[in-house]
Structure 1
């Protein structure tokens, strides 16, 4: 059985991505900051017949991510797929937002993704197999003036994804991003289930580095 870690396994995209990979027989390791979130997500996954466990993890802390990766390897042997879905939203004007707030969001959006990739990549390179998938946002292409931290973070993680893709492809390790250009909302084109399907399509095809999903 292959194993997938979902960092940022919340009730929207996170749980649907988990379901989609679980449907294909993956053991799912859900990672989130609180036990309350994890308990709800794991319960929902198990109700859908998905093998899942929850592990507390603060994506802004490399030590937390390292512990998560090591625990997963001890329990299941290896990490076949890493999905980095962590992000935070903070509305502000670019003239008012503090450097501390921008730093906090950058740590989650970009540095957490970098840490996670660096921690799983060596084993994937050695096996010449594996995939790293990252949730992007349309704000990284067209900035949203009320979300300066998110816009800067998603621009950074988009470039990070492209660099990881170009660096790891020669070792048969796939890296890709789903760029969500709009508000994720159930019953729309940006339903979390559609986001999850886009992730699995990228993983299955292993060709395109980026898939842009829009509300239209």
Structure 2
């Protein structure tokens, strides 16, 4: 196999959560371009239908599934839909998740618990659901999208950072449990120019963030998709239980303080 042939996903089937926009959309498109059949899942069906249609127009195979990862039945249905549509499931990207800043004296424990469920428990359950199909297929690859916030020490981010730190460590622990049948890795993005970030961006904020980033620019969704493609393909066949930090070289938060 040549070097470039190692970056193929031909004959694979991938389920990508949060695939309607941003990082999830970019990963779904990248996997399809590499030859995978893709199940695009997100809460807003119209968003993932647009992504799936884009894949099909480009000659790939894709279906769209409405899935709120907070709902156990919908998680189960998404995995079942992938197997029903394409006969197997070999790849899972746990991308759905998120959370903003918080005051520890104002955020209720119920809201904190909900954030852990959204970012960590949902991923854990999807891995449980997907793993038997991957073992049956004779190959398996799982990527969890965490965050640079998981390792930054900063004020007012206890909810999000704790959840992503838990997801990061969960990835490492489960990689040991499922090896050698399934490889599990994580990607920790820094600030990526998604629609969500663009909504709060000003010229002043962007200048500060770029100045605080060693590579002097913010990331793009394709930067994360490229890392996800590497971790999904035979190019990374000897990598499991690791976290790839795609953050422009930042070792602390680049947001204005």
Q: TM-score, normalised by structure 1?
A: 0.91
Partner of 2:26: 16
Aligned-partner Cα distance in 2 for 1:65–1:144: 33
Query: Which aligned pairs between 1:80-159 and structure 2 lie closer than 5 A?
Result: 80-159=90-169
Partner of 1:191: 220
> 1:146: Cα distance to partner?
2.8
Any gaps of 5 or more consecutive residues in structure 2?
1-10, 195-215, 250-257
Cα RMSD, aligned residues only: 1.9
Partner of 2:51: 41
Q: TM-score, normalised by structure 2?
A: 0.77
> Which piece of structure 1 moves more, 51-60 or 202-211?
202-211
Higher radius of gyration, 1 or 2: 2
The answer (yes or no) to whether the contact 1:6–1:82 under 8 Å persists in 2 is yes
Partner of 2:66: 56
Could you say what secondary structure the match of 1:170 adopts? coil
The answer (yes or no) to whether the contact 2:48–2:65 under 8 Å persists in 1 is yes
Aligned-partner Cα distance in 1 for 2:155–2:20: 26
> 1:143: Cα distance to partner?
4.1
Distance 1:39 1:74, change over 3 A: closer
Could you say what secondary structure the match of 1:91 adopts? coil
Deviations 1:144-167 (A, max 9, x none): 433322111101101110011111
Any gaps of 5 or more consecutive residues in structure 1?
none
> 1:49: Cα distance to partner?
4.0
